C-alpha cells in the first residue's frame, strides 16, 4: 500500500491573487543552455548504456557551468575575441565488466549537436571550448544499478512538487518566449537573437511583460536601424500578447528597457552570436526554468535541478517531472478541481514507486464533495506510481522537456 494523502485547501487560486510574478528564460539564455545541454548529454549516455550494456548505468550530469567569452560588437557584424567555455561535470559510469565507454566524446558530441540545432550564429567548433570533469560515482550509488531487480531504489532522499493548471500569466509568459524564438518570428526578424528573457508581472487584470532580446549586429547598420526594428518587434509582440489573453484586460510590453538613443553601442542591446554568454553573462544548471517551463514565484518550488540527472533512479528528475504530469492528469480528469498541487518525497534506497509520502492538495469548486473527489485523485496517483517504470523509459528517450 502506498502512503497517499489527499487534502482540501481553503486557498485562493493563484490566478485570482492580486499580484503574480512569472519568469521565463529562453533558448539562448546561458542558464537555459546549461540545463538543455546537460539533459541532452544524459539522454545520449542513457541510450549508449542501453545499446552497449542493456540498461542505463549510473550517471548524473547535473553540474554544468557556461563561462562567458568575449566579443567586439560592430555595425554590420562583430567578432569573437575569446570563446565561451562549457564545463560538464559530476558523475558517470566509464566502464562495465572491463568494457570502456567514451564518456567524454559522447558528452562533447551532444553539446555540439545542441549548439548546432539551437543557436543560428554560433559555431560549436570555433566559439566554444569544452571541459569535461565527469568522474566515476561512489560505490554505494553505483551498486544500486548493479543490484537491479525491476525498479531501482531511489538514489537520494528528495522532494518535489508540481501543480496544475498554468495560470493565464504563466501561459502567456511561456508562449511569448516561444513566439519570439519560433521559426516564423526569426524569419520575419532575422536580427532577433535567441537569448530571450521574459519577466511577467500581473497586477490585478493588467499584465506587464518586460522582455530582453538582443539584435544580431550583422543585421544592424546604424543606431537608427536598430531602434526602427525594435519598434517593429515591439508592435508584433503587443499584437501577439493581446491576441492570446483571455480574462486579462491588457498586456503591456517593455522591450530592452536599458536602451538609450544617442549612446551609440552603449545604448543598444547588440549581440554577435545571439546569446549573452558570448561576453556578458555566465550560466549554471538549476538556475533556469522549472520543468514546466516557467519560474513562478507565487508557486511552491523544489530545490532539485532535474536536468542531467539519470532517468531511472534519481528522484530529483523523476519526481520533479512526474508531479506536474500527475497534477495535470488530476486537473483534466477529475471534475470540480480548480487547482491542484502534487507532492512526492523519496527515501534513499526505497523503490521509486514507493515514495515515503505522496500528497495532493486540492482547491475545489464550490459545492464539490471532497470524499468522492479524493477517491478519484488517489486512484490516479496510485496508477501513475504503479506505472513509473514506463514513465522512466519515456524519460530515457527525452519525451519530457526539463526547461
3-state DSSP assignment of residue 169: helix
Closest CA to 278 of 125, 122, 403: 122
CA 61/CA 20 separation, integer angstroms: 33
Closest CA to 65 of 38, 92, 103, 25: 38
CA 343/CA 94 separation, integer angstroms: 34
- Cβ atoms < 10 Å from Cβ of 223: 17
CATH number of 15-26+167-276, picked from 3.40.50.261, 3.40.50.2000, 3.30.300.340, 3.30.565.10:
3.30.300.340
- Cβ atoms < 10 Å from Cβ of 336: 15
pTM for this model (two decimals) = 0.95
Query: Are residues 389 and 11 in contact, defined by beta-carbon separation less than 8 angstroms?
Result: no
Placement of cell 532535474 in the chain: 306
Query: Are residues 107 and 132 in contact, defined by beta-carbon separation less than 8 angstroms?
Result: yes
In sequence order, the 6+-apart residues with CB closer than 8 A to the CB of 1 are none
Which regions in the chain score pLDDT beneath 70? 139-144, 146-149
Closest CA to 86 of 123, 29, 133, 119: 133
Query: Are residues 275 and 195 in contact, defined by beta-carbon separation less than 8 angstroms?
Result: yes
End-to-end CA distance of the chain: 33
CA 204/CA 229 separation, integer angstroms: 31
What's the count of helices (H) and strands (E) in the chain, helices before strands?
9, 19
Closest CA to 66 of 122, 129, 117, 24: 129
Q: In the structure grid, which three cell numbers stand for residue 370, read together?
A: 471532497
Question: What ranges do the domains of the chain cover?
Answer: 15-26+167-276
The predicted structure's pLDDT at residue 152:
84
Beta-strand (E) ranges in 111-228? 128-135, 159-164, 197-203, 206-212, 215-216
DSSP code at position 180: H
The predicted structure's pLDDT at residue 146:
67
CA 288/CA 132 separation, integer angstroms: 21
The predicted structure's pLDDT at residue 151:
82
Amino acid at each position: 500500500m502506498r502512503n497517499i494523502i489527499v487534502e482540501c485547501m481553503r486557498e485562493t487560486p493563484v490566478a485570482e491573487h492580486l499580484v503574480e510574478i512569472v519568469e521565463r528564460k529562453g533558448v539562448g539564455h546561458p542558464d537555459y543552455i546549461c540545463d538543455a545541454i546537460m539533459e541532452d548529454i544524459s539522454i545520449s549516455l542513457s541510450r549508449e548504456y542501453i545499446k552497449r550494456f542493456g540498461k542505463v548505468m549510473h550517471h548524473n550530469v547535473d553540474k554544468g557551468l557556461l563561462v562567458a567569452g568575449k566579443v567586439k560588437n560592430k555595425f554590420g557584424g562583430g567578432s569573437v575575441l575569446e570563446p565561451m567555455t562549457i564545463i560538464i561535470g559530476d558523475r558517470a559510469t566509464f566502464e562495465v565488466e572491463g568494457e570502456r565507454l567514451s564518456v567524454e566524446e559522447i558528452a562533447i558530441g551532444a553539446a555540439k549537436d545542441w549548439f548546432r540545432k539551437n543557436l543560428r550564429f554560433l559555431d560549436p567548433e570555433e566559439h566554444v571550448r569544452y571541459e569535461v570533469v565527469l568522474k566515476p560515482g561512489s560505490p554505494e550509488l553505483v551498486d544500486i544499478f548493479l543490484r537491479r531487480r525491476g525498479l531501482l531504489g531511489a538514489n537520494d532522499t528528495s522532494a518535489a512538487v508540481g501543480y496544475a493548471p498554468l495560470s493565464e500569466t504563466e501561459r502567456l509568459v511561456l508562449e511569448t518566449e516561444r513566439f519570439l524564438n519560433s521559426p516564423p518570428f526569426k524569419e520575419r526578424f532575422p536580427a532577433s537573437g535567441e537569448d530571450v528573457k521574459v519577466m511577467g508581472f500581473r497586477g490585478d487584470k493588467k499584465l506587464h511583460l518586460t522582455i530582453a532580446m538582443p539584435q544580431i549586429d550583422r543585421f544592424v547598420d546604424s543606431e537608427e536601424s536598430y531602434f526602427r526594428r525594435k519598434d517593429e518587434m515591439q508592435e508584433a509582440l503587443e499584437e501577439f500578447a493581446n491576441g492570446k489573453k483571455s480574462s486579462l484586460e491588457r498586456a503591456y510590453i517593455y522591450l530592452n528597457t536599458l536602451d538609450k538613443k544617442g549612446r551609440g553601442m552603449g545604448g543598444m542591446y547588440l549581440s554577435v552570436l545571439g546569446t549573452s554568454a558570448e561576453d556578458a553573462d555566465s550560466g549554471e544548471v538549476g538556475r533556469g526554468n522549472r520543468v514546466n517551463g516557467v519560474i513562478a514565484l507565487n508557486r511552491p518550488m523544489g530545490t532539485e535541478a532535474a536536468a542531467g540527472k539519470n532517468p531511472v533512479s534519481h528522484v530529483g528528475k523523476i519526481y520533479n517531472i512526474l508531479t506536474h504530469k500527475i497534477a495535470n492528469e488530476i486537473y483534466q480528469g477529475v471534475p470540480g478541481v480548480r487547482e491542484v498541487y502534487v507532492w512526492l518525497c523519496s527515501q534513499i534506497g526505497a523503490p521509486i514507486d514507493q515514495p515515503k509520502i505522496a500528497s495532493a492538495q486540492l482547491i475545489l469548486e464550490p459545492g464539490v464533495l471532497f470524499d468522492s473527489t479524493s477517491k478519484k485523485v488517489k486512484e490516479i496517483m496510485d496508477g501513475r506510481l504503479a506505472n513509473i517504470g514506463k514513465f522512466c523509459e519515456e524519460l530515457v528517450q527525452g519525451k519530457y522537456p526539463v526547461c
